[in-house]
Amino acid sequence: MKLSNIHIILVEPRVSENIGGAARAMKNMGLANLRLVNPAPYKNKHTYALARKGKNIVDKAKVYDSIESAIKDLDLVVGTTSKARLDRVNHFTVGEAAEKILPLAKKNKIGILFGRERTGLTNEEMQYCSIVSRIPQPAKNFSLNIAQAVMIHCYELYIKSTDVKVADWNLATNKEMQMLYKHLETLLNRTSFKASGGTMKFVHRFRRIFGRTPLEERDIRLLHKFFSIMEYHIGKKERIQNEK
């Protein structure tokens, strides 16, 4: 299977050599799409020296000024982290994540989001991700630079892409997923339901549920229709109460 629909996204890379190292890893493992969010100046001899045969990936890298703009055309976003934030979204090892996304990659554009080298992705940025990939390591205070993390993910994708069954799914886009969560939040705020930890934490639980099996476009339409029916009946009940 070709990996042409998988995009590596680096958030605010400050060390140009890491961009070169990531490009080199991608080239070696058959990936070609690199996206950079607010990078430091990187088209220099240090980057190209690390990139080696991946120089063309550096030259063709797309640059964005925000994560939102970098992922808006993607159908599924995979976050990467070294922390087990299990209350947020579904966590998988890097190998498990590769197995999960590869069947979807033939018909859908998928992004793998790598955070800042020192701090990673924020909790807010993690909300753009349907699933999270984590590299298990035995050491408590382990440290991988971005290029190393990219290499491990690219390797797992390449190895597992050689024998994968293609899933004929029309995934909902990341934008459609965010709109669904917003609709759910709006609906919950119109009810008398009081979620433990607040509405947003309750919505996060749905992110975990939907992340286990990414939704298709038709699933999104069905859920919006269901939410709209509930909103209609809530509005009807409110009108009756106001008339009393």
CATH 1.10.8 in the chain is located at: 174-243
pLDDT band at 117 (very low <50, low <70, confident <90, very high): confident
Angle, vertex CA 120, rays to CA 57 and CA 61, nearest 5 = 15
For 14-30, give the secondary structure using H, E and C: CCHHHHHHHHHHHHHHC
User: How confident is the model over 28-85, as pLDDT tens digits?
Assistant: 999 999 999 999 999 999 999 999 999 999 999 999 999 999 999 999 999 998 766 5
What is the amino acid identity at position 240? Answer: I
Phi, psi dihedral angles at 42 (to 5 degrees): -135, -10
Mean of the per-residue pLDDT values of the chain: 87
CATH architecture of 174-243: Orthogonal Bundle (1.10)
How confident is the model over 5-14, as a mean pLDDT? 96
Domain 6-161 has CATH 3.40.1280.10: yes
Q: What are the helix and strand counts (H, E) for the chain?
A: 10, 7
CATH 3.40.1280.10 in the chain is located at: 6-161
pLDDT band at 18 (very low <50, low <70, confident <90, very high): very high
pLDDT band at 192 (very low <50, low <70, confident <90, very high): confident
Write down the pTM of the prediction.
0.70
- Parallel, antiparallel or unpaired: strands 76-81 and 110-114: parallel
